[in-house]
Structure 1
Amino acid sequence: MTSDPSGPHPAIPTASDAAARKKGIPMTAMLAALSAATFLCGAAGLTIATAQDGSPATLPDLPAPRIQEPIIPLPQSIELDGRKVLLGRRLFTDSRLSSGNGLSCASCHQPALGMADGKPVSSGLPHYEGVVNTLTVLNVGFNTKFSWSGQTLSLEEQADKVIENKRTMGGRWETVLSDLSADSGLTTAFGRIYADGLTRKNVVDAIAEYEKSLVTPNAPFDRFLRGETDAIGEDAKAGYRIFKDYGCISCHQGVNVGGNMLQVFGIFGTPTSATDGANTAGAAQGSGIADDKPVFRVPSLRNVAQTAPYFHDGSARSLREAISMMAQYQLGREISDGDVSKIESFLDSLSGDPPLPPVN
């Protein structure tokens, strides 16, 4: 996939606009503080801003959550360099990153599939088939660990590795840079942003900046945490209570409802997808957490309703199946269909507005 996966979108008013008006901040003054690279994402508004010189812009304060819980709402405004985001978005859909393999990042991270690919296991490349489920890149900038193993510790490191991984892009950085450098429009774009122009480090930096912009704000549950008590229904509220009571919250917490720790898969018993123990595909090696069971990074549950199938091998085809399996193997208990439905309602409420492309 080399074409842009999403079409043009109009600029829309944001929550921060409303906040500025309430605080008496003149919109003309606020807009003057932001550069032409400022853009908007999300139907109800995620503001991403950069100052004219690329340094962070000052944004108006936003109300803090009214309900203190282990889950933190996604921010409604973030500070990124909008010029880099636009360039990174261009690279994200560029198949030259795979050195002739015909793949771009967008080949496996598709907007219609929650920025995953909907397959149990990624297709991989000829002679190097994929071995793990494709993880979404929605809200990926809020993770502190990356990939299934969680042993990659920055988004930049992850983007750099994917290019040459023989089961993902299968490219060679030497060839990638040569091919990109032959594009005068692209080299000009890099020269306007980076003092040293088009380099491996700067390609990675731009891609990472774009990925950080893929935020899904205003999920019903986030609005609930901010005090909008009717944002979620009674089933979702009950599901959240069960989620906490059963202990799911001990691993799935924080702003990304996961993505920040490692955990054994199969604490109580061994799932059929984990019979290879610590050698299970995608598992962390040498984590020191377990020697006989696979250890994975705890996935984020944001927008989880859109990213089936689930687990490292896609063995859970539905969210209900995934909930039941987690109860059995991670909690050591069976839960009723009614409780499964309530937890599913809560997880559905974690889906926010889809990210929209930047608008200059």
Structure 2
Amino acid sequence: MKRLTVITIIALLFAVANLAGKDKRNRTGLTPYTIPLPAFVGDYFDKMPVDEENPLTEEGIALGRRLFYDKRLSAGNTLSCGSCHQQSHAFADNRPFSLGVHDSVGIINTMPLFNLGWARSFFWDGRAPSLREQVTEPLINRLEMAGTWADVLDKLQQDKDYPRLFGAVFGPGKINSTMVAKALTQFELTLVSFNTRFDQYYFDGQADALTPQEERGLDIFFGFGNCNHCHSDVLLTDNYFRNNGLDLTPKPGLYNTTGKESDRGRVKVPSLRNIALTAPYMHDGRFQTLEEVLDFYSSGIHQKSPNIDEHVVPLGKGLFLTAEQKADLIAFLNTLTDSSFIRNPAFSDPNPPLK
């Protein structure tokens, strides 16, 4: 009888605990969200890391999307994140240097935003070790959105909708910078781009997805061009920092973050996905076209540049591509465009604002 009583009590305790857990999940009212990814991403590459402190929900993503396009995050309410990260350009800018508040000019080219969940650090010089830090730095950068957290948070708190939306996602209390960063991060993590003709050909095995010219360009890319040594894997970037020999005296790059002489001149390798949409090119936007980029890699490499990358050294002064080879390679690079990504309404400016 005593044993039966003990077992009964334990069972009741487990039942109560389970009901409490279910009640807690229901009270949140949040809808978990899983980013849709093609099977080949998991087959050929690592799964996107999960931030247990900031789980994706439909409500959190919708809030982050609204913030991404809200100009009140800037001084004078003139710029939003989407002002410089434009969907039509794969969330990059079409200027060498973006214009900030009061038309201040930036000092480095705006990087595109997609497939960010796999990155280990952010910006050309790697100064942000997490996406949560990357999404908020422009808000207070004097050359960009030039705001202050006190001003931004006051404007959000005074809005008729934001306190309710933030409360629904993060719980009661005043809006703070951590909440803003988490919401923006949730939205930006959903900006994934893996639907190109290259993907159909290379990963899905659709032999007719590329033309003969594009196939010749692919052979150069993965062959004597050695492009895939740095623009590698499913992401078409290794997310490392390298000096590709642009200048004899390169700008500091990663050195600004680490202080190591061995990092001077090294900058982050950008993904070549959507490359046809993200001109101008290089960290300083010096090349307006892909033709100019290939001219550099064909005959303009500076081998005496300090800390030049080991994969660039074997190229000598360049690949010395013929006109036909350049045309073939550009044709292939155009197959890396994800048209569905730049047209996806889930990534666009919510107008009217999301509820």
| 1:226 to partner: Cα distance | 1.4
CA distance in 2, matches of 1:133, 1:295: 15
| Greater fraction helix | 2
Letter in 1 for 2:275: V
Describe the shift of the 1:255–1:73 C-alpha distance in structure 2 as closer, same or farther (beyond 3 A).
farther
Letter in 1 for 2:289: S
CA distance in 1, matches of 2:211, 2:268: 30
| 1:319 to partner: Cα distance | 0.9
Contact 1:96 1:102 in 2 (8 A): yes
Alignment correspondent of 1:14? none
After TM superposition, the structure 1 stretch with the greater mean CA deviation from structure 2, 187-196 or 253-262, is: 253-262
Alignment correspondent of 2:227? 248
Alignment correspondent of 1:239? 217
Alignment correspondent of 2:177? 200
Structural RMSD (CA): 3.1
Alignment correspondent of 2:307? none
Alignment correspondent of 1:219? 196
Alignment correspondent of 2:155? 179
CA distance in 2, matches of 1:96, 1:305: 31
Alignment correspondent of 1:324? 295
Rg comparison, structure with higher value: 2
Letter in 2 for 1:312: H
CA distance in 2, matches of 1:123, 1:65: 35
CA distance in 2, matches of 1:238, 1:163: 44
What SS is found at the alignment partner of 1:277? Answer: coil
Alignment correspondent of 1:139? 115
CA distance in 1, matches of 2:57, 2:76: 30
Residue of 345, 352, 355 corresponding to 1:357? 345
1:215-268 residue CA offsets vs partner (Å, 9 max, x unmatched): 2332111111111121122222221221122221111112321161110131xx
What SS is found at the alignment partner of 2:112? Answer: coil
Alignment correspondent of 2:252? 279
Describe the shift of the 1:145–1:344 C-alpha distance in structure 2 as closer, same or farther (beyond 3 A).
farther
After TM superposition, the structure 1 stretch with the greater mean CA deviation from structure 2, 192-201 or 125-134, is: 125-134
CA distance in 2, matches of 1:255, 1:87: 29
Letter in 1 for 2:189: K
| Greater fraction strand | 1
Query: Any unmatched runs of 5+ in structure 2?
Result: 1-27, 49-54, 302-311, 348-353
| 1:113 to partner: Cα distance | 2.8
CA distance in 1, matches of 2:218, 2:275: 15
Contact 1:145 1:259 in 2 (8 A): no
Tell me the TM-score normalized by structure 1: 0.73
CA distance in 1, matches of 2:193, 2:250: 35
Alignment correspondent of 2:273? 302
Describe the shift of the 1:101–1:166 C-alpha distance in structure 2 as closer, same or farther (beyond 3 A).
farther
CA distance in 2, matches of 1:58, 1:296: 29
| 1:125 to partner: Cα distance | 3.8
Alignment length, in residue pairs?
295
Alignment correspondent of 1:6? none
Residue of 147, 158, 165 corresponding to 2:134? 158
Q: What is the aligned-residue identity percentage?
A: 31
Describe the shift of the 1:58–1:310 C-alpha distance in structure 2 as closer, same or farther (beyond 3 A).
closer
What SS is found at the alignment partner of 1:253? Answer: coil
Letter in 2 for 1:140: L
The equivalences for 1:1-360 within 5 A come to 53-55=30-32, 63-64=39-40, 80-100=56-76, 102-126=78-102, 128-197=104-173, 198-224=175-201, 225-245=203-223, 246-258=225-237, 260-266=239-245, 271=246, 274=247, 276-279=249-252, 284-286=256-258, 288=260, 290=262, 293-327=264-298, 328-329=300-301, 330=312, 331-332=315-316, 333=318, 334-352=320-338, 353-355=340-342, 356-358=344-346
> Which is bigger in relative contact order (C-alpha 8 A, separation at least 6)?
1
Tell me the TM-score normalized by structure 2: 0.73
Describe the shift of the 1:64–1:137 C-alpha distance in structure 2 as closer, same or farther (beyond 3 A).
closer
